Amino acid sequence: MLDRRPETDDLQPALAAGEELAFKELLDRLGPRLHRAATRLLGSRDDADDAVQEVFISLVRSRKCLLTVKSLPAYSFAVLHRTIGKMLKNRQRQPGLLCSPHDRAEPTSDSIDIDEEALERAIQSLPNEQREVIVLRIDGKLTFAEISTLLGINSNTVASRYRYALDKLRDALGTRSC
């Protein structure tokens, strides 16, 4: 089961009060995942920069309701998803970009050795609807129920897309199935 620690609960009152340092803290905590998700969905790091900036502007504007948001990470990724939807409508989609070496993270598990360039290529090769679910689940750490609400589709459909996406990634990466 994916880890779902309440990583931002402590920030919500300060965010709602408009404290700039709280937004900086939120940027530190969620920014990298938001940016990686945006890069994977938009296929462009420059566009991902814009997307994350738009997310934070939206969060500032809606800060008063952040106090009552059940899950700030889920809310933030919902805003990101909406932002990306607008951007994809207005801009021609760029071909997928691989992560640059400075984005490449060191492997943290010795159970599976994942080539990160191969991983990004594999994610970019997924059908859009599967990539969307994978990114929201892995980067956003959203539950299937949250993804279902966000995308407006049945949670079984979410689970199916997720399963098929994992199968494709597994095949592309050449890892053993569990």
CB of 8 to another protein, least distance (A): 15
Question: Do 163 and 113 contact (CB within 8 A), yes or no?
Answer: no
Q: CA 155, CA 152: separation in Å to the nearest integer?
A: 9
What is the spatial distance between Cα 100 and Cα 144, in angstroms, rounded to a whole number?
30
Near another protein by CB under 8 A: residue from 136, 141, 146, 151: 141
3-state helix, strand, coil in the chain (%, to 5): 70, 0, 30
Among 94, 112, 125, 127, binds another protein (CB under 8 A): 112
d(Cα 170, Cα 24) in Å, to the nearest integer? 36
Smallest distance from another protein to CB 84, Å: 15
Residue 156 touches another protein, criterion: CB under 8 A = yes
Q: Does 159 participate in binding another protein (rule CB under 8 A)?
A: yes
Among 8, 11, 12, 36, binds another protein (CB under 8 A): 36
Residue (9 or 171) nearer to another protein, CB: 171
The CA-based angle 9-107-160, given to 5 degrees, is 65
Q: For residue 8, what is the DSSP state? A: S
Tokens of 56: 């934070």
Q: What is the binding site for another protein (CB under 8 A)?
A: 1-3, 18, 20, 23-24, 27, 31-33, 35-36, 49, 52-53, 56-57, 60-61, 90-91, 99, 102-106, 108-109, 111-112, 114, 116, 119, 134, 138-139, 141, 144-145, 155-156, 158-160, 162-163, 166, 169-170, 173, 175-178
